[in-house]
């Protein structure tokens, strides 16, 4: 494909239909970039449940998927409807079919541009076993474990070599899902059967592999952007260590951890660029690491899609990653480089889920009776909530992404705490009070936390 300037891409997409095959926060976020500078026509998939969603207001046209809440996974139906509406490109958002490696190929067969990478590159990086093999061949450290998928006897043998505790991980998993922690040999067989069944149900792939369960680690990831012409750029790290059950709750850039030295930062970025180049991947990717207390990194996975937490990188650098993802998909040259793309601010995101922290974070659905959104300097809000909206029970509990940004860590924390005091959601239980507690904790404010922070200080 010939290299295009961004201006040429703008001319190509103007007044063309771009579909967002997703819902909720993800759909609303992507629709905004399609409508803004690109001047394209935003189209949205929508099930019957989502016809009243705030995201619908951002679309010029709707593709009606009917009553089945799981219709966002029906790629055949989505592509058929897209062709009938003269859609030229599809953005998968995050979640649902965004990591289905058949999606790019099916789009190509239908003559539609997939706003992401190729099926081949997604299979290479998105499969945890394959990416481990690739990383080891590139001298990128990985967590000790099995070389590939294992049987129960092989899992036992690997566990003997590396020692307990271990993790059973789904080969096709991602986003913190498909992980079973095992602390002693007697737990292995039962956990293996459960984990394999869950992996088949969730990812369509029952295969598992073994990794050592590392303790006292930080979850650090690198956002990478790559075009079709060999240009790759890595942004500064995002610290995602504040987690519950392997699910991210708070994301920060740059990491406030005192152990995040400039040398470690550059090492992680170099590993990430090396991996993306070797795979022939283009689009956005996120390379995820665990980093121990001594500053030793271990690759754990690569996410081949737009990440939920991409917004804090946008705030740090003053860029639009979705706009760039679309530019890349249409053959545009990557507009980020070391000379011109510099970090400006620090940023933090908290995930506002409709869950009850006092009831083991049980999902909460129902009518939102009152809604007051925070604002002011240093705040960004990506939400799919409004007063009078019936928050559905058929989907996950993600309601909003609240971001604060500023010149330094203390300012970012102060702005976030102020925003959490302002934020009012009536009629539903949310995690807002829980996040207020985190923002007041002295260890969090000192940057002295790891992936055990929530379990240690519930």
Which tokens in the block code for residue 123? 């299979």
List all residues 6 or more positions away from 323 whose beta carbon is below 8 Å from its beta carbon.
Answer: 33, 36, 37, 38
* Residue 7 CA to its chain's centroid (Å): 29
Strands of the sheet containing 179-182, edge to edge, are 179-182, 166-170, 208-212
Which of 391, 325, 285 is CA-nearest to residue 53? 391
- State how far the Cα of 88 lies from the Cα of 238, in Å rounded to an integer: 33
CB-based contacts of 187, cutoff 8 Å, min separation 6: none
Q: How many CA atoms lie within 13 A of 158 on its CB side?
A: 25
Strand blocks (E) in 21-178: 41-47, 61-66, 87-91, 113-114, 166-170
Q: Give dist(CA 46, CA 48) in Å, integer.
A: 7
* Catalytic position from the list 244, 305, 316, 351: 305
The secondary structure element, H or E, covering residue 372 is strand 370-372
Cis peptide before 254 (omega within 30 of 0): yes
Q: Phi and psi of 261, rounded to 5°?
A: -85, 160
Concerning whether 440 is annotated as a catalytic residue, the answer is no
Catalytic residue set: 305
């Amino acid at each position: 494909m010939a290299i295009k300037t961004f201006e040429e891409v703008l001319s190509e997409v103007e007044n063309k239909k771009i579909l967002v095959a997703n819902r909720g926060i993800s759909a609303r976020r992507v629709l905004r970039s399609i409508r803004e500078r690109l001047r394209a026509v935003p189209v949205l998939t929508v099930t019957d449940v989502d016809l009243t969603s705030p995201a619908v207001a951002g679309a010029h046209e709707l593709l009606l998927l009917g009553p089945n809440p799981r219709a966002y996974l029906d790629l055949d139906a989505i592509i058929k409807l897209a062709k009938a509406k003269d859609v030229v490109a599809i953005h998968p958002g995050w979640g649902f079919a965004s990591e289905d490696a058949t999606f790019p190929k099916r789009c190509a067969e239908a003559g539609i541009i997939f706003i992401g990478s190729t099926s081949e590159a997604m299979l290479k990086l998105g499969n945890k076993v394959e990416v481990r093999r690739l990383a080891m061949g590139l001298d990128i450290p990985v967590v000790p474990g099995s070389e590939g998928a294992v049987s129960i006897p092989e899992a036992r043998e690997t566990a003997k070599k590396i020692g307990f505790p271990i993790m059973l991980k789904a080969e096709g998993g991602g986003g913190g899902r498909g992980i079973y922690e095992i602390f002693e040999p007697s737990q292995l067989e039962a956990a293996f059967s459960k984990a394999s069944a869950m992996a088949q149900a969730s990812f369509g792939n029952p295969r598992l592999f073994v990794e050592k369960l590392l303790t006292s680690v930080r979850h650090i990831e690198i956002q990478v952007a790559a075009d079709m012409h060999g240009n790759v750029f890595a942004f500064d790290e995002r610290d995602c260590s504040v987690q519950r059950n392997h699910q991210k709750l708070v994301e920060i850039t740059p990491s406030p951890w005192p152990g995040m030295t400039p040398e470690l930062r550059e090492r992680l970025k170099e590993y990430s660029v090396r991996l993306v180049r070797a795979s022939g991947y283009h689009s956005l990717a996120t390379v995820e690491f665990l980093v121990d207390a001594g500053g030793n990194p271990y690759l754990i996975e690569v996410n081949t899609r737009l990440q939920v937490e991409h917004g804090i990188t946008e705030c740090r650098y003053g860029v639009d990653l979705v706009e760039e993802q679309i530019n890349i998909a249409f053959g545009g040259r990557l507009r980020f480089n070391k000379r011109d793309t510099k970090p400006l601010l620090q940023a933090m995101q908290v995930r506002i889920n409709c869950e009850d922290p006092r009831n083991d974070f049980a999902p909460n659905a129902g009518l939102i009776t009152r809604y007051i959104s925070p604002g002011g300097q240093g705040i960004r809000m990506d939400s799919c909530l409004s007063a009078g909206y019936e928050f559905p029970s058929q989907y996950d509990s993600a309601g909003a992404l609240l971001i604060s940004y500023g010149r330094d860590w203390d300012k970012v924390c102060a702005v976030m705490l102020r925003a959490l005091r302002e934020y009012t959601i009536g009629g539903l239980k949310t995690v807002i009070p829980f996040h207020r507690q985190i923002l007041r904790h002295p260890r969090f404010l000192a940057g002295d936390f790891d992936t055990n922070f929530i379990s240690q200080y519930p």
